[in-house]
Chains A and B, each alone.
Chain A
Amino acid sequence: QVQLVQSGAEVKKPGSSVNVSCKASGVSGGSFSRFTINWVRQAPGQGLEWVGRIIPILDIPNYTQKFQGRVTITADKSTSTAYMELSGLTSDDTAIYYCARLYRTAFDIWGQGTMVTVSS
């Protein structure tokens, strides 16, 4: 059974960067490579917002325009882990960050979420 397990909560200062990991378990490295891993965030009391995605076998990320230049999504096929780095943090980046696998045309498996708090 495929699971996505994310790294723990982070507290960051404004202007700094955060790196969140998402490790797939119950899957071979070859299978992970063919996943499309998406990153979605949810600010407190708000809706869901897509950040970007990567297909490890292609190693080509896509980002929503809003985060261009501040976000970097990568994947390590050898460890079945995806990463999202967000730089230039402000208080508006305080949110839960989720990774999620694309299945056909929807996100069928989600990580447990990583709370990122930006505070001075």
Chain B
Amino acid sequence: NAGVTQTPKFRVLKTGQSMTLLCAQDMNHEYMYWYRQDPGMGLRLIHYSVGEGTTAKGEVPDGYNVSRLKKQNFLLGLESAAPSQTSVYFCASSYSLVGANVLTFGAGSRLTVL
């Protein structure tokens, strides 16, 4: 049972380059999320999706785009990377709309922008 898989695990970019982080889940979860984790700031929600074909902005969406073309995949794109986007990115998924649900996290993707 793979759960939530993120690729790549590590990436170094130069300012202005673009890239896409891929998140895949095999639990048939409806909800998927992208968070960034920075020291002393906890996890901040970038974008999320409540189902295939839908996306919504979180707390810190600027500079990122997302797509959910298939239920099991949630892509996070950086069109023009900036040093401020150096962070560890976590994808998570959850099963239902009910507020008491549990997030299942991927192992993270460490991005460095030079």
To the question of whether A and B form a pair in one complex, the answer is no
Residues of B whose CB lies within 8 Å of any CB of A are none
